[in-house]
Structure 1
Amino acid sequence: MLGLDAIWWLLLYDGSVPMPGMQWLLTDAAIPMAAPGAMERAVFHVGTFEAIAGYTVTWGVMMWAMMQPAMTRFTREYAAAYRGSAVGAARALASFLVGYYAVWMASACIPLLYEAVLPGGIYGVTREYTHLVIGGALVLTGLYQLLGFKRSLLRTCCATVPPHLDGVLRGVREGLYHGVRCVLTSFGIFFLVMVFVGEMNLVWMVALTGVVTIERLPPWGEEVAVGTGLVSLGAGLIVLMFQPTLPLAFTL
């Protein structure tokens, strides 16, 4: 599983994923790729179905790379819990991952929706109201991390996998189910913080990968979620009240 994760990170690092509108973004618009909403702004500038499809693929690969470490324990247990041959276990795991990956790829619609409804898109609103947007995203993420709903989802993610004989269709269905719960579990971290600080910011990507991985380690994942929630809440309040200089670049 870690080898598969290395492939996703390598594809991102080498730029071997679709980057619709990147030439316009970096030359005509002079917006750094790591800026908040840069990818979405480039896609909307191109404005074609192919651009949206390319963005969806890139988003999917990015989320697979960031979620794979967090899913390593679960996928190993899922394969080990299979009551059948090694070939059957591999088939069940592959089917599970197809469903799981499909959910994360489909989650690209969330930042695209933000881009469509926010005035000026993600980039425009974050540049205009930087401290309000970043501070608000951190506060909302902190509150989300503290919700009982979030912690109940986390308990499901960390649950022991029971013995099974999942076939292809059942494996895909389990992957879809688990993927939806993972998206909801990580909603604040990925769809509030990451989207508004810039998805292609490597430092944030690594840091958030660490957070979602550690909080899925039983038996103290819930305590980690509460701790990161309090940190996020405090950081958001500091940004809102004191408006410090933030490490965000909006122009080249």
Structure 2
Amino acid sequence: MPVACLQAVKMDSKICEILESMNKNMVEKFYENSQKMEENSRKIEEKLLENSRSLKEEIRTSIETQIKIVQEETQTDMLNFKEEICESVKDKIEEVQDKLKQKLKKNSRTIEDKLEKKLREKIQLFEERINQMNCYGEGSVTSEDLIMDHLPWSTYYKQFEAAATVNGWSNKQKATSLIVFLRGEENYELLILRLEIKYEDSYLQQVYQAQTKSRVQKAAESLQEFDADIARLTRFAYPTTSDDFLK
């Protein structure tokens, strides 16, 4: 074989060895680089995972903090709102109470005025009726005025007592007037009966009549109580008088 061919063969063999060595080195290098890349990738993933966990924890903590702040602010706002509502309701209640008190006070004054007016009218009417029944002025007692044969004794007795009370007759004047009246009757039994009626309970009636005339409203007494007591005294003062007349 020529020398040139041998050299060429050796050259090719050398080149193959070099290429094979380079290929082997490249494979090893590639494998090594791959291992490094995998390691780096794993480290990066671990780092990312760690960072992710830390980030999640930070986010969670931040969210919880914000929620707590919002809750506290909301609670504070609710308390302030409740206080405002309570204050507003309290003011409204006080306003309504003041209006009711003023209205009740006004109505109370109106009722008292009406009752007082009605009571005065009743007293005035009662006095007018008594005056209408009074036929016996002091110092003008005559047998013509007192001898009223056409009236029954009970009716005359009511008129006699009413007239005596209104005119303020003394017992002597009342006795004189009664004697003059009795002169018109000559019936002994009737005379005794009239005297019994006259002096049985008349002193109590006279007391009630005097109380009725002098009764005034007390400081702590309401008009209703005063009116009721006047009605009570009037019935005791004139027990035989009809309720229609007393009213």
TM-score, with structure 1 as normaliser: 0.22
Higher relative contact order (CA 8 A, sep 6+): 1
Higher helix share: 2
